[in-house]
Structure 1
């Protein structure tokens, strides 16, 4: 995805602007199902009539039914179509995929050989996204099909319109033998998309053995993607210690920085990924000691960022190697750095708000239009800083019991899917105990159930202000933002929740699902606008 989100190399997503693709590499969505698409042909009407009467050429290729494929082609000859090559090359589905694309994706070697013996030019036919049959085979991890297509002289460096090659797909799948085979056939190790090289793709999918093999084959460890992110930075941001270990042992440079003069160690320290920091110390102790004393543009070392974010274990690991902090009192250090970090980001937010507006230009590209739509949605939402924190009210024991009853009744109404009643009951409880974060979170869920995502977002942000470190509030904020179509912001909120509850598998799964839905939504919008 090309849009920006407020992602962070730190623990809270509202603090620093990064790219959506920093968190997860976008893999092209190749879907092979010939039964779901219309057949399109650039050939004569006679051929089209013949194909419809004689069966589905694409389905027989996809199913590996060579006998049916031959019968289909024979029937074309009966219809007066004698050029089999024309039929194999020109008959395509709505996404410009040929029979060879479908056969390659399913690993149908007999069909592949049959087609290429009669129409060798098919090997370089591309679909609407520029993908060749070889790329389909690599995507679906069909090694034998990849080998066969290469034997028919498929070019491993033919890239999709977004830059993706077969090597990117093989690396993402973790297929070492496919990676080796492609490189043997001169696949370019440094071929890149905006998301990066095959190395970035392998890192994103946690393929540490593939990372090691790519390094052995000569891939560059320090190559940057369009966002300036190296494989080591990506592995740190995504909390992949085993991949970090391979990159460090492969001589990745620790001192490289991206926006804000942040090294990979800064990122790992601020995000609280203890195992990653430990790998730095285990694999490259001297280099780590040097980088541990580098300051970001904000004047913070990795230790100071970790302290400001409350990551005790990382502070303990970095204290002995950070000059001036070796003997610092841990509690005092963390309290002081939190104040500094909060002040820095508060000032940065003010600077951003007070900056002179740039000249307004009408969005031209599809991406610009989608970005403008996203900004419009954000502008319609109440600003978080404008939400007041309710003051606590002293309640008698009797009043507290009454509030609890309203809450319990609200829970029952919510479970019964009577969301309007649930909202009313939670509101009555809030009127008695207006500073109860749980009540606002519950009412948020009820508003969501009723389809009022904006009001739900307001409530959960009140809950957040009352309990800033509550993962559930951050998760529900993500749900609200997703309901409003703000997938990137939603993923950011869920990412923050994960930092507070790193062992919560449900949170991790929901975050991944949100990212997936966001990509699907973005892809659908791109296709509809095209």
Structure 2
């Protein structure tokens, strides 16, 4: 695929990039010589031609033109780690293009695995490629989005997940207090990833009160119950509000889910009619007078914001949590709850929600700010600086993030001087 037509470069420069993308080495050399004009600075002439920061090596790498890459790297000695305007190197282009031979060549000739720009994102992308694992990338290294296995789960990329598991990735690595790859796979409704993780030995019990079965019940994942129960998931472990999976399913009137869970759930003493209809009736009767359960997610979010404004942070967290039960992929809910936790002095909970917000909204500067604020509260100034820097890369003009970064640097300097 040829690079887009760039109006701010001349016809000759455009032809050079097209020749690189097409792998036409003869045409490329002829155009490069014309651009050089006999000055003997062929490398500089070629490196000066770019489209949005991407040069000839980017174009060749993206389309798997390895012979062109060999010429550019070995004969002209262009910068193999040159980054485009977004921080992507030729290696990233080759990885995203799925060109294994080109990736191998670039790695063997000095391409770096991790770019200093957008490190977390690049690390996550790069490590989801088999050839990089063969080259020695750390299969369990952590970024702001968790481990590569967490990233594969959140992207529902079962192919990459299998590669990672084949290279012995830790399927029980916990990210932000209790989010294992299995929990993440359930949250994004990826049955293939869930089955792969269970087969690899994922802990079906989970961590804390947010178990895989609770996650399935909350999300209404009817097709997931069988594999979870067969793997040994305990249907008698309640969530943080004391509700069993069967009660969560009944609360949302999911009859089929209740039918599946009924035979494996221990009888609840207060439920006299231990049947599908009896459980649904019992659970809904208990909440029918509670108006909170009748509010839409958007209304719950609005009520949460109102509670926050009147400084009733506990009520706000409960309202945001209820909204999450109905709309679990809304990253702004985690952002809002994160600041509430901070106001209540719950730094780790604030950090957990900030991490989840970043996973759901990787391009949202506010998510980076929330993470930075949580790290500041926990006095982890190094990580706070990293989070604020990530936010500024996404929104360089954001004064709130800039001020946060300034404070983080100041605190870091003081802590090191102490």
Q: CA deviation at 1:237?
A: 1.8
Does the 8 Å contact 1:139/1:170 carry over to 2? no
Does the 8 Å contact 1:35/1:59 carry over to 2? no
Structure 1 moving runs of 4+ over 4 Å: 51-55, 224-228, 339-342, 344-352, 486-489, 526-530
Aligned pairs for 1:232-381 within 5 A? 232-257=182-207, 261-282=209-230, 284-285=231-232, 288-289=233-234, 292-325=235-268, 328-340=274-286, 343=290, 345-346=292-293, 349=300, 353-357=306-310
Indicate yes or no: 2:24 matched with 1:76. Answer: no
Does the 8 Å contact 1:194/1:226 carry over to 2? no
Number of residue pairs matched by the alignment = 322
- How far apart, in 1, do the equivalents of 2:176 and 2:89 lie? 24
- Residue 57 of structure 2 aligns with which residue? 100
- Residue 88 of structure 1 aligns with which residue? 46
> Which secondary structure does the structure 2 equivalent of 1:91 belong to?
coil
- How far apart, in 1, do the equivalents of 2:114 and 2:170 lie? 18
Aligned pairs for 1:380-391 within 5 A? none
TM-score between both structures, scaled by the size of structure 2: 0.65
Q: Which of 190, 193, 204 matches 2:140?
A: 190
> Which secondary structure does the structure 2 equivalent of 1:164 belong to?
helix
- How far apart, in 1, do the equivalents of 2:213 and 2:168 lie? 24
Q: Which of 103, 110, 132 matches 1:146?
A: 103
Q: Which of 133, 136, 150 matches 1:200?
A: 150
- Structure 1 residues 419-470: Cα deviation after superposition (integer angstroms, max 9, x where no partner): xxxxxxxxxxxxxxxxxxxxxxxxxxxxxxxxxxxxxxxxxxxxxxxxxxxx
- Structure 1 residues 345-381: Cα deviation after superposition (integer angstroms, max 9, x where no partner): 459956764445469xxxxxxxxxxxxxxxxxxxxxx
Q: Which of 61, 77, 88 matches 1:131?
A: 88
Of structures 1 and 2, the larger Rg is shown by 1
- How far apart, in 1, do the equivalents of 2:146 and 2:7 lie? 32
- How far apart, in 1, do the equivalents of 2:282 and 2:254 lie? 14
- How far apart, in 2, do the equivalents of 1:37 and 1:232 lie? 48
Residues 229, 91 of structure 1: alpha-carbon distance in 2 compared, 3 angstrom cutoff: farther
Q: Which runs of 5+ in 1 are unaligned?
A: 1-30, 40-50, 172-178, 360-473, 475-485, 490-517
Residues 146, 188 of structure 1: alpha-carbon distance in 2 compared, 3 angstrom cutoff: same
Indicate yes or no: 2:23 matched with 1:64. Answer: yes
Q: Which runs of 5+ in 2 are unaligned?
A: 313-326, 334-361, 367-393, 399-418
- Residue 416 of structure 2 aligns with which residue? none
> Which secondary structure does the structure 2 equivalent of 1:72 belong to?
helix
- How far apart, in 1, do the equivalents of 2:185 and 2:241 lie? 23
- Structure 1 residues 288-335: Cα deviation after superposition (integer angstroms, max 9, x where no partner): 12xx22222211121211111122222222223322249712112112
- How far apart, in 2, do the equivalents of 1:344 and 1:297 lie? 20
Q: Which structure exhibits the higher relative contact order, with contacts defined as CA atoms closer than 8 Å and separated by 6 or more residues? A: 1
Residues 53, 331 of structure 1: alpha-carbon distance in 2 compared, 3 angstrom cutoff: closer
Q: CA deviation at 1:36?
A: 3.9
Residues 220, 36 of structure 1: alpha-carbon distance in 2 compared, 3 angstrom cutoff: farther
- Structure 1 residues 25-62: Cα deviation after superposition (integer angstroms, max 9, x where no partner): xxxxxx973414645xxxxxxxxxxx765653322212
> Which secondary structure does the structure 2 equivalent of 1:131 belong to?
coil
- How far apart, in 1, do the equivalents of 2:59 and 2:191 lie? 37
- How far apart, in 1, do the equivalents of 2:331 and 2:263 lie? 41
Does the 8 Å contact 2:204/2:228 carry over to 1? no
Does the 8 Å contact 1:271/1:306 carry over to 2? no
Residues 84, 162 of structure 1: alpha-carbon distance in 2 compared, 3 angstrom cutoff: same
RMSD, matched Cα: 4.1
Q: CA deviation at 1:65?
A: 2.1
Residues 293, 271 of structure 1: alpha-carbon distance in 2 compared, 3 angstrom cutoff: same
